[in-house]
Structure 1
Amino acid sequence: MTERVVDVDGIRLCTESFGDPSAPPVLLVMGMGASMLWWEEGFCRMLAAGGRYVIRYDHRDTGRSVTYEPGRPGYTGADLVGDAARVLDARQIPAAHVVGVSAGGALAQLLALAHPGRVLSLVLISTSRAVPGPGDRELPPPTEEFARFVSTVQVDWSAADSVIDHQVDYARVLAGGRRPFDESAARSLVRRDVERANDFAAARNHDLLPDGELSPEPLSPIAVPTLVIHGTADPMFPLRHGEALAEQLSEGRLLVLEDAGHGVERADWSTIVTAILDHTAAAVGG
């Protein structure tokens, strides 16, 4: 694996790659407020072992990428979409298979809309429609437990231990509660994330980006093969979000993960990796 900080259009982004650069490229896009560490190294290595050139990166204000003053993001959501293309530019990759999780799935959809020539296929995990569409009002809200956790958060962002405890508790809620939660593994990952970041508190800048600013277009123009992967226990985006997304996309299909929560859980790595390998092999350029 190779980690390096690249500078594209004056934006410093930390990226890391796994596998043979001549293999079909897979760009991994993480959700808001999360660094590339949440695409865990073992998962990336499994994809690379399947014959893919895997690239992960830190969003602005996460990890070792450019960091702004907390409370004052110097960018928009559209800039985060553009950053995905910048990462490909830095690696001299014309187009890639793009895999996004949570808000990263929304960024992946918007990348396919804004830069259709850069996206060979999409895999959208634990996400929803990136722009408004018919039937949105019928989509279920987050679970009561999730909403209660978010509304009662108390954390001292200046104290590492407080931040780590909060992030572990958040990971537990996102897991959905139907499977055993590996607190030790979660705490280890969160601690590395906090210690590695230029300023972990800056990740909260993502919460300040306005909704609905990215694209007014419907999702119908997305014509690349798209695989939607969604857990039945997702507390942030209940399963109906994944179903509706797959139904709306012209080339969308759905893979349901029984009892899985929100994100890429270790118990599902083998299933998800196999699905990505099969999906990208069948797509143009796979």
Structure 2
Amino acid sequence: MTTDIETTYHCNGVTLCAQTFGDAADPAVLLIHGACASMLWWEDELCRRIAAAGRFVVRYDQRDTGRSSSFPAGAPGYGLRDLAADAVALLDALGIDSAHVVGRSMSGGVALVLGVDHPTRVRSLTLVSTTTGELPMGDLDTPPDPDPRDPAAVVDHLVAVLRAYAGGSPHFDEDATRVLATADVARTRDLRATLVNHFAMDFDGPRGGGFTDLRTPTLVVQGELDPVFPPHHGEALRDAIPGARLVVLPDSGHEVLEPAWDRFVAALAEHTS
């Protein structure tokens, strides 16, 4: 098994930084993270475990995260459809006809657009810690945004947010989270844009319908303790998608943290077989 170095691709009029794990001859799994999160939050070891299950793993920085293109802070000028078009263009650049798409949190919306508007490019969908958008979010107490000119303050902010997102999960490891947050901040082009633009973009959704119109095999993964989208969000998502299956991760919050990786990878491997 090999791990490629980070590579920059020019896709859909933007620059996307991506990395692959495993054998390109294996079925592709495209990992798309949520708001403000670069590809680093699909941790290296998690990607290696998915690859070891016989999958060619692709992770990438979406717009306004990591080393991909940045847009004016507060005025990104793009929407979910653009992020989905980026994903399709990245598959084209990598020579991948279709992939098993995994969308986490906000990027459940990106995955929905891919599944409805680009169905020939999607072999299956896995929706992690996300929502139909019809239920209220959990009552979450998060700190105000830090000064983006102070990288140390941004790291502290990320650690605090992810502690809150853990929902009291025993899986939360503050030291490991700080190491990852420090690496993420160090490689981010524009921290100000990263902190705000995914919340300021257009949540336009697919042109061809909604969750009930998906005809792609879909797995819903939900954390038992998720304070952002509590468990009834996962249940509603499963019920909205024809034939969808729900897997609940015990003792897990909004993120899929290391103690839950074995169960998550097993469920993903089964779903994408």
Query: TM-score, normalization: structure 1?
Result: 0.90
- Find the partner of 1:176 among 164, 167, 172: 167
Supply the distance in 2 between the matched residues of 1:105 and 1:28 (Cα, whole angstroms).
Answer: 11
SS of residue matched to 2:10: strand
Distance apart, 1:180 and its partner CA: 5.1
Supply the distance in 2 between the matched residues of 1:95 and 1:141 (Cα, whole angstroms).
Answer: 32
Q: Does 1:52 align with 2:43?
A: no
Q: Give the corresponding residue for 2:241.
A: 249
Deviates more, 1:202-211 or 1:256-265: 202-211
Asked whether the equivalents of residues 21 and 53 of structure 1 are also in contact (C-alpha less than 8 Å), the reply is yes
Asked whether the equivalents of residues 116 and 210 of structure 2 are also in contact (C-alpha less than 8 Å), the reply is no
Q: Give the corresponding residue for 1:195.
A: 186
Gap runs ≥5 in structure 1: 131-135, 282-286
Q: Give the corresponding residue for 1:99.
A: 102
Identity, in percent, stands at 43
SS of residue matched to 2:272: helix
Supply the distance in 1 between the matched residues of 2:136 and 2:78 (Cα, whole angstroms).
Answer: 30
Asked whether the equivalents of residues 24 and 96 of structure 1 are also in contact (C-alpha less than 8 Å), the reply is yes
Supply the distance in 1 between the matched residues of 2:9 and 2:251 (Cα, whole angstroms).
Answer: 38
- Find the partner of 1:259 among 234, 241, 251: 251
User: AA paired with 1:155?
Assistant: P
Supply the distance in 2 between the matched residues of 1:77 and 1:109 (Cα, whole angstroms).
Answer: 9
Q: Does 1:76 align with 2:79?
A: yes
Gap runs ≥5 in structure 2: none
Q: Give the corresponding residue for 1:66.
A: 69
Deviates more, 1:78-87 or 1:17-26: 78-87
Compared CA separation, residues 264 and 181, structure 1 to 2 (3 A): closer
User: AA paired with 1:141?
Assistant: M
User: AA paired with 1:49?
Assistant: A
Distance apart, 1:72 and its partner CA: 2.5
Give the alignment's Cα RMSD to 1 decimal.
Answer: 1.4
SS of residue matched to 2:246: strand
User: AA paired with 1:142?
Assistant: G
Q: Does 1:25 align with 2:28?
A: yes
Query: Cα deviations across residues 259-285 of structure 1 (Å, max 9, x unaligned)?
Result: 21002211111110011111100xxxx
Q: Give the corresponding residue for 1:111.
A: 114
Distance apart, 1:215 and its partner CA: 3.1
SS of residue matched to 1:173: helix
- Find the partner of 1:272 among 259, 264, 268: 264
Supply the distance in 2 between the matched residues of 1:142 and 1:221 (Cα, whole angstroms).
Answer: 27
Q: Does 1:186 align with 2:177?
A: yes
User: AA paired with 1:230?
Assistant: Q
Compared CA separation, residues 197 and 154, structure 1 to 2 (3 A): closer
Query: TM-score, normalization: structure 2?
Result: 0.94
Aligned positions, number: 268
Compared CA separation, residues 33 and 115, structure 1 to 2 (3 A): same
SS of residue matched to 2:211: coil
Distance apart, 1:4 and its partner CA: 0.5
SS of residue matched to 1:220: helix
Asked whether the equivalents of residues 140 and 238 of structure 1 are also in contact (C-alpha less than 8 Å), the reply is no
Supply the distance in 1 between the matched residues of 2:29 and 2:49 (Cα, whole angstroms).
Answer: 12
Deviates more, 1:109-118 or 1:216-225: 216-225
Supply the distance in 1 between the matched residues of 2:181 and 2:169 (Cα, whole angstroms).
Answer: 21
User: AA paired with 1:185?
Assistant: A
Q: Give the corresponding residue for 2:137.
A: 141
